[in-house]
Structure 1
Amino acid sequence: MTRFAAILLALVFVGATPAKADELIAATQTCFSDSTSGKDRKLLARWVFLAIAAHPEMERLSAATPSDVADVSQEFADLYMRLVTEDCPAQMRALVAGHGTKGVSAVFEYLGKVAMLEVMTNQQVSGTISGFEAYLDQEKLSAALTPDADPEQ
């Protein structure tokens, strides 16, 4: 993967994070990260993929059956329950008390980003991600990204 694609991926999947994360959110994020395996994070990525594939403009790109969706949803529900009720209940109680559902959303958003970054380490995935670069106008791109260059040339 080229540097340009890596930067693009970082911006899309990691985004901007506050300089100092809230302690309750950070503690729960750490607990979730420490309590999930690569297998768990790939499950989360599958669940997100199937959710996206349900969109009318995306569904033709997936061969997932309703049974596949139900199976992954059940597996994700099991993971969710384990994280919230077994692995990190103290952190979750404090998070909900301090931030409500917004805090919970922030923690699962973070876990989703971690899951997506893990999936992106696969060579086939990163190759597909960087495949768009074959269609870029390199001269125009270079001119646009060069300081003091006139992009109209």
Structure 2
Amino acid sequence: MKIKGLLLAAGLLACGTATAGPYSDSLSDCLVGKSTMDDHVVLVRWMFVAISRHPAVSTMATISDAEVDNANKQMAELFTRLLTVTCRDQAKLALKNEGQFAMQQAFQKLGQQAGSEIFINQDVAKGMSGITKYFDDKKLQELQSQ
């Protein structure tokens, strides 16, 4: 099916440097504006599961094959719903006028939105702030005096 190829080719939230066009912007606005917090949780869980497979972090999290499969299933259902129901008109126009790139740009923006919501969580912010106790204040202060 063509849409599967488009989603795969889009890199499913891969980072890109090109500028989005008006149709991908419209699709992005729809995806971000009409997706729910529950949708964002599905997306972030799917990203976490995928990232957890990388050798650099794979020893830090144990995620079963069943959990990976479930995250993939939920994400596929989310993509399908967003593209074929929630933002159908915008998706059709974006694909017609801007092609696969529109999908990449739109889902990248959705991923950024969902990810940013994770970082504003108090527990996440507290965990990330732990880095400050290891800063070399003296070296950082030297930056200001140079």
Q: Tell me which interval the TM-score lies in, with the shorter structure as reference length.
A: 0.7 to 0.9
Instruction: With a CA cutoff of 8 Å and minimum separation of 6, indicate the structure with the bigger relative contact order.
Output: 2
**Within 5 Å, which residues of 2 pair with 1:7-26?**
22-26=21-25
Report how many residues are paired. 131
| Alpha-carbon distance in 2 for matches of 1:141, 1:89 | 50
Aligned runs of 1:55-74 on 2, under 5 Å? 55-74=54-73
Q: Deviations over 1:7-52 (max 9, x none)?
A: xxxxxxxx9x99x963212211111112211111011000001100
Task: State the match for 2:123 in structure 1.
Answer: 124
Give the equivalent residue in structure 2 for 1:142. Answer: 141
Partner Cα distance (1:21, 1:81) in 2: 22
Tell me which amino acid in the other structure corresponds to 2:81: R
**Structure 1 length-normalised TM:** 0.79
Q: Which residue of 1 aligns with 2:96?
A: 97
Aligned residues of 2:24 and 2:106 also touching (Cα < 8 A): yes
Deviation, 1:138, is 1.3
Q: Which runs of 4+ in 1 moved over 3 A?
A: none
Which residue of structure 1 lines up, in the alignment, with residue 36 of structure 2? Answer: 37
Amino acid corresponding to residue 61 of structure 1 in structure 2: M
SS in 2 for 1:60: coil
SS in 2 for 1:59: coil
Q: Which runs of 5+ in 2 are unaligned?
A: 1-14
User: What percent of counterpart residues are identical?
Assistant: 27
The whole-number CA distance in structure 1 between the counterparts of 2:132 and 2:92 is 45
1:124 alignment partner AA = D
Match of 1:109 in 2: 108
Gaps of 5+ in 1: 1-14
TM-score (norm 2): 0.82
User: CA RMSD for the aligned pairs?
Assistant: 2.0
